[in-house]
Amino acid sequence: MTAADAAVEAVATTDTLLVALDFDGTLSPLVDEPMSARMTPGARAAIDALAALPRTVVALVSGRSLGHLREIAEHDDASPIWLAGSHGAQFWVPGSGIEAAGDDAADLQLRDRLQEEVGQRTADMHGVWIEPKEYGLGVHTRTADADTAAAARELVDRLLAAEAPAWRRRTGHDILEFSFRHEGKDSAVAHLRERIGATAVLFAGDDVTDEDALGSLDAGDLGVRVGGGETSATLRVADIDAFVAVLDDVARLRRAHIS
């Protein structure tokens, strides 16, 4: 048995399992229009199967705002799946819904002003799209050419360094993101682990921000990196379909263990 196989079996047979998953690039292909993202049918079936098992909690952990995450995940009020949006600054809990977090009025005013200003300054940059986020903004450059993307990032970096130097800066697949909240996917997973009393965690992601969580996992947890890039994950898989196969294995082993 390989180390990866042993890690899969260990999380599958733990007492209380948290399956915490990034969305874009992990369950859904990356797309040019962010709000058109949807899980692959295989990914949807795999997480539904896991969520139906006893002592097994599935959570989506995303940089998307909670409202956007619910829309692309086709998540309704009856869902058993937990949500951590905005890199863990927002939570949706089955049975009780959104957990509100109080924010300073000055932070919200600055957010609104910078969203508007960045939108105006990049309006003529073809292929650049500004996403208003709950706690800041995202600069999408997937459909921009390389020079335009670089110019947009430089412009926004310069503006935010001057106007909001304390905001957290993140990069990802063709996105530059700023937030006045500093939570990360590591703190999101830690919060979820404590809330449900998980004895092990399976976390998977495909991007730089997912490494916060992957690097924070404990012995006995399983981290999975979907696709290329440097990683501290225990297991790397080539693509979403290969990751679905891992989830299917975990569900199969866990079902046999519980029964």
- Chain segment 78-119, per-residue pLDDT in tens: 999 999 999 999 999 999 999 877 778 999 999 999 999 999
Which one of the listed residues 5, 15, 22, 24 is annotated catalytic? 22
- Chain segment 174-188, per-residue pLDDT in tens: 999 999 999 999 999
- Chain segment 46-76, per-residue pLDDT in tens: 999 999 999 999 999 999 999 999 999 999 9
For the chain, domain boundaries: 3-101+183-258, 105-179
Which of 236, 189, 195 minimizes the C-alpha distance to 2? 236
Topology, domain 105-179: Alpha-Beta Plaits (3.30.70)
Residues 6+ apart with CB under 8 A from 217: 189, 201, 203, 223
Coil/strand/helix, residue 170: strand
Q: Tell me the whole-structure pTM to 2 decimals.
A: 0.87
Catalytic site residue 22?
yes
- Chain segment 133-189, per-residue pLDDT in tens: 989 999 999 999 999 999 999 999 999 999 999 999 999 989 999 999 999 999 999
Stated as kind and residue range, the H or E segment containing 105 is helix 105-121
User: What is residue 5's predicted lDDT score, i.e. its pLDDT?
Assistant: 85
User: Within its chain, how far is the Cα of 251 from the centroid?
Assistant: 21
CATH number of 3-101+183-258: 3.40.50.1000
* Strand ranges (E), 156-232: 168-172, 175-179, 200-205, 222-226
